[in-house]
Amino acid sequence: MTVTVGIDKMGFYTPGMYLDMTDLAHARHDDPNKYLIGIGQSKQAVIPPTQDVVTMAANAASQFMTPEIKQSIAMVLFGTESGIDNSKATAVYLAHLLDLPQTTRAVEIKQACYGATAGLQLAADYVRVHPEAKVLVVGADIARYGLRTAGEVTQGGGAVAFLVTANPQILALDEVSSYHTEDVMDFWRPVYRTEALVDGKYSTNVYLDFFKTVWTEYQRQTSRKIADFDAFVFHIPFTKMGRKGLRQILPEATPTHQAELTAAFEASQEDNRNVGNLYTGSLYLSFLSLLRHGDLSAGKQIGFFSYGSGAEGEFFSGKIQPDYQQGYDESAISQLLTKRRRVSVAEYEEIFNQRLDTIGSDQRLPVDEESAQYYLAGRLNEQRQ
Ligand code: HMG
């Protein structure tokens, strides 16, 4: 008998501050409509030095962690491109913070924004062989391009954590998926840099080409067509990018279906529009946004496009499960987003330059405003506190 495997629980975290895109446009002497409509972003998460990918991941995962779940976690797969150590995996720090059993395997996965999808697929394959096991998968990042760069409007940050299990509560994954790898220099970050390098326009073209390639290949493998889907969820570096992805395939649908797919896309971009790029977490925040704001019911078929610069693309699919709304904490997520404090451009710039991981010496961070359960208190003897 085949086991149904997929996403059972989801959690999300982004820090308590945001930058308004109209404020940023004014400060950069740009037309706000370029940011709000042209790029499609309204707010951007501002990441204080008291939060890094480990603490953000712990805050996201703790939304669904119970003692019972902890005991059955066999593996932690941490997708990130904002790692804090070249040797020790973020997953090991995370397993400790969450107090997971020492019988848990814990590793970090890197391939730009694709890391969490690699985690999801490896986890699903593992659970198909070990149906009693649960795998914790995380996508956590801080998207940084630099002050006054073209990419600045597409920054953001946060973490999405999810549990991959048999008989999942949220999404049953289809076993088939199509993927494509090519050595491309569209976006990269050499180890000596704290900000990414990007060939912006080129990266948007590669993204669209990869989507076309994996969508065509998925259809060839499955004989499925656009008519078989109720929604498509995209990796969203900025919402216009996902919109362009959808527009590429919309002509394959009937006019009524086009309207339904567009409405589903609007729901799936809502939270990303207010947080910005999460890199590895972006596709999964978009899925969470669809769950929270979309018109869904059991059995709806969802298509996912994952993209990581450099580059790797994958198209996969799954079915919404009857109790999907019990798989995430709606009130915690909505409070997190609505209670954020708007910071000025000057405050954002100061915070942007205050990163602990770029400072070599011991440091204690001011945590007066930190309300998160997990936060970085400083560094002592080259060790995170
Ligand atoms: P830019 O040069 O500042 O913007 O860079 P633009 O001039 O191309 O304008 C953007 C859009 O705004 C255009 O619309 C303009 O027409 C429109 P489009 O033609 O694209 O539909 N516009 C206006 N609209 C309304 N009112 C106005 C107005 N003015 C202009 N007044 C760029 C934009 C995205 C290139 C830049 O922000 C950038 O480099 N971002 C970072 C790279 C990126 O996000 N790439 C996405 C694909 S790669 C990817 O997804 C992977 C990634 O997540 C990393 C990873 O995998 O790890 C990035």
Which tokens belong to 235? Answer: 């990796």
Higher pLDDT, 314 or 370: 314
Q: Is the pLDDT of residue 361 over 90?
A: no
Given this structure, which CATH class describes domain 5-384? alpha beta
Q: Is the pLDDT of residue 365 over 80?
A: no
CA torsion angle 220 222 228 229 (round to 10): -80
**Alpha-carbon distance 133 to 188, whole Å?**
35
For the chain, the structural domain boundaries read: 5-384
SS3 355: coil
* Burial class for 251, CB neighbours closer than 10 Å (0-12, 13-18, 19+): exposed
Q: What is the reported pTM?
A: 0.97
User: Looking at ligand 1, which residue's alpha carbon is closest to its atom 17?
Assistant: 38
Query: Is the C-beta atom of 34 inside 6 A of ligand 1?
Result: yes
H helices of the chain, where?
Answer: 21-27, 32-33, 53-61, 67-71, 90-97, 115-129, 200-222, 239-249, 255-273, 282-293, 330-338, 345-352
> ipTM > 0.95?
yes
Query: Is the C-beta atom of 202 inside 6 A of ligand 1?
Result: no
Query: Is the C-beta atom of 45 inside 6 A of ligand 1?
Result: no
* Burial class for 184, CB neighbours closer than 10 Å (0-12, 13-18, 19+): middle
CA torsion angle 273 246 145 193 (round to 10): 130
Measured between its terminal Cα atoms, the distance across the chain in Å is 47
How remote is the CA of residue 39 from the centroid of ligand 1, in Å? Answer: 5
Q: What is the pLDDT of residues 295-316, one digit of tens each?
A: 999 999 999 999 999 999 999 9
